Structure 1
Amino acid sequence: MKFSKSLLAAGMASLVASPASALEVEVGGQVNRAVMYVEDGYSSEASDGSGILGQGSDTEFYHVDNRNSPTRFTFGATQRLFEGWTAGAVIEIGAYANSSLDVSPAEKNTDAELDERITDAFVDSPYGKLTLGRGEGAAYNTARRDYSGTGVISFRHPGLIGGGLYYALKDSSVKTSFNADGSFRDRQNFTADELSTEEGAGRLNRTTIAGSIRDYNFEGRHERIRYDSPRIGPATVSVSAGNDGDTGSNSVLQVGVTSGLRVPGGRMLVGAGYSRATVNREAPSGSDDPDINTYGGSVSYFHSDTGLNLTFAAVNRAEELSEEEATGNFSSTRSELGQFRYAKLGYRPNRTHAFDIHYGETLNRNKDDEKGSVIGVGYVWSPVDMFDAYAGAKIHSFERGFWCTESGRTCYSPEYEDITIVTTGLRVKF
């Protein structure tokens, strides 16, 4: 909701200014709550009553904050400087209780969390927009261009709903042992510990949804300075530079190009981005993480007469690993190139109803020869701008190929059960 300066004057005497430079303040936000029904093969207590997280009842209900578009509060202000020039600021705080990204059978209720999403100051002019603070880099969301209208339930990052859930290992998972000379010694099924998600023997092959599939969104939000050009033909060019990571030791450079244009039969959104995160290993708080290059984009087409829309996205994340990092223990097949691919077919006959079916996969998220995938459907009902009711269902699958530890003495052939998630919820904006 927006308030003109004249309405705020009585309570905000410090903001007195001439009408020609009137201040506009915008206060808003949303609450987005959902219920998840999950079939994943795990429960908070094992079927034998031991109380250890393991294979018990394979269904659970969770009451969550939907991280596809989480609960948040936004405060913004803009003021005209002079003809064609505007200055402003935005503060956005996320408030998550039982995040859909974090819940699991072991933690059906997680701690509430306040998250600094955006703290920006900006100047907008005929020559472009300059932004300083914490927020989105220049490539952010260039691979999430989407006309479907179902992002609240069928978002591009599949792990945001159910990301903390573990894939159950099948009883058919086996490990093979070899002698020091490389000759075969033994093959056996995983032990009970290796089939569980507890720390210990099973940790080498345990995997969550978030650990198996990711859309690699160009380093996320971080501290940066960003410039967005005026439209150059049909496109806007953006560049940014900043720091990321808990210690701020990662230097992040990004470039992005976005466009919205009319094409035969309808409209099209296009985005492309590149990001390079460089680790300062010489700093006292420096990290041992690899330097990372991320590149990719998306395209979404909307057919005006029918409301049918089609979206594609592709993003690659290339880690620059040293030979030791690439061949270390448990990392003898560690992936150096993760690949995300996504396709969505949508139907949006009007602004009230939106449907979609989608498929996404991440190849080599952690190790070579593995694939995390999702197939799902979603529906959103939006009778007014401030209200959405939605429902969706999806199936997550994970495959990891035969892999061996550095010594070559033990090799694993894990097989995983699928995870099914049905979600329904309400989003109310204010």
Structure 2
Amino acid sequence: MGSPKSLLAITASSLIATPALAAEFDVGGQVNRAVMFVEDGYAPDYLGVGPSSEFYHVDNRNSPTRVHMGGTQRLMEGWTAGALVEVGILSNGSNDVTPEEKSIDGEFDQRITDAFIDSPWGKITVGHGEGAAYNAGRLDYSGTGVISFRNPSLIGGSLNYALKDSSFKRKFDADGNFTGTEAFDLQEGDNNRSSISGSIRDFNFEGRHERIRYDSPRLGPVTLSISTGHDSGSDGDESITQAGLKSGLRVPGGRMLIGLGYSIATRNAEAPNAPFDPDRGVDPDITTYGGSVSYYHSDTGFNVTLAAVNYEAELTSEERTGTFSSTRSELSQFRYIKLGYRPSRHHAFDIHYGETRDRNKDDEKGSVVGAGYVWSPTDMFDLYAGAKIHSFERGEWCTSSGRTCYNPEYEDITIVTTGGRVKF
């Protein structure tokens, strides 16, 4: 984030007799603001209030406003110690706004609070930050991440899909005989409600959390990482272990980035010494695995990026037995492709498609198709614009009794975003 203008380098040799103890400090950050136009088909009878078209003034959560400060100091030949603190400034996040809440109170977000020691045998980092697999599924040479980021829900994530009038439910009697079809009412519309973030997600290996992490020195073209730590989940603390592999290498015609990640998050009960679930046969582990690859052709600037990440979590007893829990999913799959063109460091274009299958229930798909452009006249400034269409499909599903089967259909959500990012 820091640029040559934002880098504050202080040589401590004028204060300390030993030149080996030179220290460097970095203070910087960025502001990233955008205007978001949304055509979401909102239906007052089911999913909210307001007209179908809305404008929002937002902080772009693809690369949010933040400030950081850090420092490094040489300890001895080949050894360096340092620390980094980074805080996000959340003001009207692009993933939080809705027609009911166009303006949201600001808050601060702890992004990174790290200390580290780097040596010829690798780097050890402790504190709140990225696990070993973090961003393994987000490697990207396109240069359009500020508008066409891998996690599509970061722009418009809280917007809900409107149910079409063609949605209906099939009814059966106690003997299983079909008795006819009916329209949804308000409550049943809520049972089929889904937002963009509820339909599509890139599953970024548990995000940032408290951990200790080890990164190996470069082994040929590869760096290996491992971490262990914990975070607070919906069912209490989660113990998290991750492993990752990242590589940047030259290949015929250009360059390639490769990332692979594997994560196990063990869900713990809220009460100490209690089982995670009354059914002790329920596996408490959430497993996430996958990665990404990005190729850049040096002569033309064309690039292609692919990503695939799976998320597995066994249903709890409560999730299995709920009236509306029928067909709930235990395996979600994210797939993504981006084609880019970057003729120079000043211009970058892309088109992309992503989908998450079975995010909530079996036989459903949340998808996005979009395009983006970024103009970067200097290292400190970006202007960008992009458009995307989100779609959601859910197959027929029935209540646990089998007496009501729902067939929801959803309006698409179109989002056009333009904004600017200034780094300092």
Kindly tell me: are residues 203 and 238 of structure 1, through their superposed partners in 2, closer, same or farther at Cα, counting changes over 3 Å?
same
Corresponding residue of 1:42? 42
State yes or no: 1:369 paired with 2:359. no
Provide, for residues 353-401 of structure 1, a one-character-per-residue CA deviation record: whole Å limited to 9, x for no partner.
0000000000000000000000000000001000000000000000000
**What's the offset of the Cα at 1:134?**
0.4
Kindly tell me: are residues 17 and 174 of structure 1, through their superposed partners in 2, closer, same or farther at Cα, counting changes over 3 Å?
farther
For 2:194 and 2:367, the matched residues in 1 are separated by 13
Equivalent residue letter for 1:306? T
- Count of residue pairs the alignment pairs up: 412
Equivalent in 262, 268, 272 of residue 260 of structure 2: 272
> Contact (CA 8 Å) 1:143, 1:315: kept in 2 or not?
yes
**What's the offset of the Cα at 1:202?**
2.5
For 2:377 and 2:188, the matched residues in 1 are separated by 52
For 1:285 and 1:139, the matched residues in 2 are separated by 29
> Contact (CA 8 Å) 1:249, 1:283: kept in 2 or not?
no
For 2:336 and 2:421, the matched residues in 1 are separated by 25
Equivalent residue letter for 2:107? E
Which range moved further: 290-299 or 348-357? 290-299
**What's the offset of the Cα at 1:132?**
0.2
Provide, for residues 193-227 of structure 1, a one-character-per-residue CA deviation record: whole Å limited to 9, x for no partner.
2xxxxxx4422101000000000000000000000
**What's the offset of the Cα at 1:285?**
9.6
State yes or no: 1:93 paired with 2:87. yes
> Contact (CA 8 Å) 1:126, 1:230: kept in 2 or not?
yes
Kindly tell me: are residues 285 and 418 of structure 1, through their superposed partners in 2, closer, same or farther at Cα, counting changes over 3 Å?
farther
For 1:66 and 1:139, the matched residues in 2 are separated by 24
Residues 300-319 of structure 1 correspond to what in structure 2 (within 5 A)? 300-319=294-313
Kindly tell me: are residues 177 and 17 of structure 1, through their superposed partners in 2, closer, same or farther at Cα, counting changes over 3 Å?
farther
Equivalent residue letter for 1:3? L
Corresponding residue of 1:223? 210
Equivalent residue letter for 1:254? Q
Equivalent residue letter for 2:137? A
Corresponding residue of 1:386? 380
Equivalent in 69, 73, 82 of residue 79 of structure 1: 73
Question: Secondary structure of the equivalent of 2:344?
Answer: coil
**What's the offset of the Cα at 1:7?**
8.5
State yes or no: 1:128 paired with 2:122. yes
Equivalent in 4, 22, 28 of residue 9 of structure 2: 4
**What's the offset of the Cα at 1:328?**
3.4
**What's the offset of the Cα at 1:101?**
0.6
Question: Secondary structure of the equivalent of 1:141?
Answer: coil
The TM-score normalised by the length of structure 1 is 0.92
Provide, for residues 169-197 of structure 1, a one-character-per-residue CA deviation record: whole Å limited to 9, x for no partner.
00000011211111112311123x2xxxx
For 1:134 and 1:248, the matched residues in 2 are separated by 18
State yes or no: 1:395 paired with 2:389. yes
Which range moved further: 320-329 or 19-28? 320-329
The TM-score normalised by the length of structure 2 is 0.93
State yes or no: 1:210 paired with 2:181. no
> Contact (CA 8 Å) 1:327, 1:334: kept in 2 or not?
no
Question: Secondary structure of the equivalent of 1:20?
Answer: helix
Corresponding residue of 2:32? 32
Provide, for residues 272-317 of structure 1, a one-character-per-residue CA deviation record: whole Å limited to 9, x for no partner.
0000000122743976695210000000000000000000000000
Equivalent residue letter for 1:19? P
Question: Secondary structure of the equivalent of 1:145?
Answer: coil
> Contact (CA 8 Å) 2:226, 2:243: kept in 1 or not?
yes
**What's the offset of the Cα at 1:17?**
6.5
Equivalent residue letter for 2:173? N
For 1:255 and 1:117, the matched residues in 2 are separated by 21
Kindly tell me: are residues 248 and 55 of structure 1, through their superposed partners in 2, closer, same or farther at Cα, counting changes over 3 Å?
closer
Unaligned residue ranges in structure 2 (runs of 5+): 1-5, 278-282
State yes or no: 1:298 paired with 2:298. no
> Contact (CA 8 Å) 1:348, 1:355: kept in 2 or not?
yes
Unaligned residue ranges in structure 1 (runs of 5+): 10-14, 194-199
Kindly tell me: are residues 218 and 163 of structure 1, through their superposed partners in 2, closer, same or farther at Cα, counting changes over 3 Å?
same
Residues 225-304 of structure 1 correspond to what in structure 2 (within 5 A)? 225-245=212-232, 249-281=237-269, 283-284=271-272, 290-304=284-298
Residues 160-171 of structure 1 correspond to what in structure 2 (within 5 A)? 160-171=154-165
For 1:324 and 1:416, the matched residues in 2 are separated by 28
**What's the offset of the Cα at 1:262?**
0.3
For 1:218 and 1:203, the matched residues in 2 are separated by 29
Provide, for residues 240-267 of structure 1, a one-character-per-residue CA deviation record: whole Å limited to 9, x for no partner.
0000115862100000000000000000
Corresponding residue of 1:12? none
For 2:171 and 2:352, the matched residues in 1 are separated by 40
**What's the offset of the Cα at 1:53?**
6.2
> Contact (CA 8 Å) 2:47, 2:162: kept in 1 or not?
no
Corresponding residue of 2:21? 21
> Contact (CA 8 Å) 1:4, 1:24: kept in 2 or not?
yes
Question: Secondary structure of the equivalent of 1:349?
Answer: strand
Identity of aligned residues (%): 69
> Contact (CA 8 Å) 2:49, 2:99: kept in 1 or not?
no
**What's the offset of the Cα at 1:125?**
0.5
Question: Secondary structure of the equivalent of 2:159?
Answer: coil
Equivalent residue letter for 2:230? N
